[in-house]
Amino acid sequence: PQEKDTVTKILLTGATGYIGGTVLDHLIKSSETSIKHLTFDLLGRSNDAAEKLINAYGDRVKPILWTRFTDLSFITNTAANYDIIINVGTGFLPEGTKAFIHGLARRIKPDTPVPWFIHISGCTNLSDRPLTATAYPDREWDDANGNAIYEFLKSEDARDPYPQRTTEVGVFTLGEETGVQAGLVYLLAMHYILKHGYGYKLNDTANFDWAHVEDLAGVFVILVRAILEREDTPKEKEIRLVGLQEVADELMAGLLDVAERGVAGHKKMEGNCGEEVARLESDQAGRGLEAGTTEMMAFG
């Protein structure tokens, strides 16, 4: 967590948009101790928009004029000043999005909190195209297996590039390479998952339904609060050496033989296990974000 005398610097994109404006409003009005005194720097394109934001939120916001996601140098240099960046402006511009992560990577130093990048995304990255291409009605995804989803996203985007998916893969890949903690928010799905503690499907052919943006904005408040308050938030990229029995107990219901076949190769062998993987819960992810169970929001 942040030191008590350290002010967390947060940058938000899309503050004048439908989703971004709602997210900002929820963050400003949050009564949570870790959030209610924070200020937010906002990227915007006009003085008129900046004036409206200041009139609405006073000294809780600081608008910063920019041109657009194509100004890569500006984005990188600006991002280097922040601990958390919330991108709710667009999920379809990979190079501009990666520029934010390059900037955040400059902040990674010993004994300082690892910067976070929270990026808007969508479940269409995983969907098939039943009307114009091959349909996969039996395909099913389990967010407990983030690596499998990540590998699918990479291979699928190499085969059939799709801007939103290309951007998402870029966020994860660059986050891993640089050490920046990168996560995505699948808005419609996350509303249900956070409320119930598990994922869902309606039937073999149904699509997702709609949720109100007011509810979805709460997801971002939960994320920011979790990053600021979680005792297990890493201050630097970390890999821990753990014993096989610990992996079995954490991930495989204590079944040593299953763990041995899956990760070790020998019962006396110790295996490397990333901190994020070691925290995965073996139940139905019912403990919410603070227990580290919602891995599709924080992978990498």
Domain with residue 35: its CATH number is 3.40.50.720
Written as six digits, the tokens of 20 are 């971004």
pLDDT for position 201: 45
The last residue of one of the domains, among 232, 264, 292, is 232
281 in a structural domain: no
Same domain, 250 and 147: no
180 in a structural domain: yes
284 in a structural domain: no
Same domain, 208 and 91: yes
Same domain, 135 and 37: yes
pLDDT for position 123: 66
Same domain, 156 and 48: yes
β-pair type (10-13, 181-186): unpaired
Written as six digits, the tokens of 117 are 């990048």
226 in a structural domain: yes
Same domain, 177 and 250: no
pLDDT for position 164: 80
Residues 153, 161 contacting (CB under 8 angstroms): no
pLDDT for position 68: 86
Structural domain range at position 260? 241-274
69 in a structural domain: yes
pTM here is: 0.62
Same domain, 259 and 190: no
**Tens digit of pLDDT per residue, the chain (300 long)?**
444 446 789 999 999 887 889 899 999 999 999 999 999 999 999 999 999 999 999 999 999 999 888 999 999 999 999 999 999 887 778 888 899 999 999 998 887 788 888 887 766 777 766 666 777 767 776 666 777 877 888 888 888 888 888 887 887 788 878 877 765 544 444 444 555 555 544 344 444 444 555 666 777 787 788 788 766 555 555 545 556 676 566 654 565 544 444 444 333 333 333 343 334 333 323 344 333 322 333 332
pLDDT for position 234: 55
290 in a structural domain: no
Same domain, 23 and 95: yes
User: How far is Cα of residue 275 from the mean position of the Cα atoms in its chain?
Assistant: 16
Same domain, 216 and 126: yes
- C-alpha count within 13 angstroms, C-beta hemisphere, residue 112: 17
pLDDT for position 251: 52
Same domain, 96 and 215: yes
Same domain, 15 and 119: yes
Same domain, 208 and 246: no
Domains held by the chain: number: 2
Same domain, 143 and 172: yes
66 in a structural domain: yes
